[in-house]
A and B are shown apart, each in its own frame.
Chain A
Amino acid sequence: GENVEQHPSTLSVQEGDSAVIKCTYSDSASNYFPWYKQELGKRPQLIIDIRSNVGEKKDQRIAVTLNKTAKHFSLHITETQPEDSAVYFCAATEMKTSYDKVIFGPGTSLSVIP
């Protein structure tokens, strides 16, 4: 079946450095790729998303890139801060008229060391 792989599973960076999380997906019908951040004990919340007709999107310190041909997409966080520490989930979505088929990656636990 369809799946989303996510790497690395854990990532530790020094404050101020950059962090990169990569995802690959198998369903070629996927056309929407959100990223969620989940702080410890809290609910996942959307931080950025990208549609299949766009190659890159940036919002302040975070950016997402998409390579539809290779079925890869990545999250880039620059100038990391301790409050960026969380679990990050990528997702590949096939948007249909009756149902959005969302497949989540297994998550990356990011630790930013002050």
Chain B
Amino acid sequence: NAGVTQTPKFQVLKTGQSMTLQCAQDMNHNSMYWYRQDPGMGLRLIYYSASEGTTDKGEVPNGYNVSRLNKREFSLRLESAAPSQTSVYFCASTTSPGTYYEQYFGPGTRLTVT
């Protein structure tokens, strides 16, 4: 099993450009999450999908949109990138809410917006 995979690994964007970060998991997990990681701030939740067909905002959703394409895939879109969105983005998944199982993280996408 590959676990949680993310593409791309690195990306440089100019202000105003758009892009989509892809995430897929092969563990048959129901719940998927997108986090951003900034120095000294830990991991902050952008959006989550508790199950296929549902998505909800997390702590820092402004400037982002998501799509839960199917049970395996959860994408994050930046419509008009800003320098403040320079960060490392992690996708994570877990079996189901309320099951005391760990969140499995992908390898991350390092995004720089100039």
Contacts and interface: CB of A to CB of B under 8 A. Distances in A.
Interface of A: 4, 6, 9, 32, 34, 42-46, 49, 51, 89, 95-100, 102, 104-107
B102 A43 contact: no
Given A34-B102, A97-B97, A98-B97, A106 B42 contact: yes
A102 B97 CA distance: 11
Size class of the contact patch on chain B: 20 to 34
- Interface SS of B by simple majority: loop
B75 interface: no
Given A42-B107, A44-B105, A89-B42, A96 B97 contact: yes
Given A43-B90, A49-B102, A97-B97, A102 B107 contact: no
Nearest to B6: A43
A99 B48 contact: yes
Contact of A107 (B42, B45, B102, B105): B42
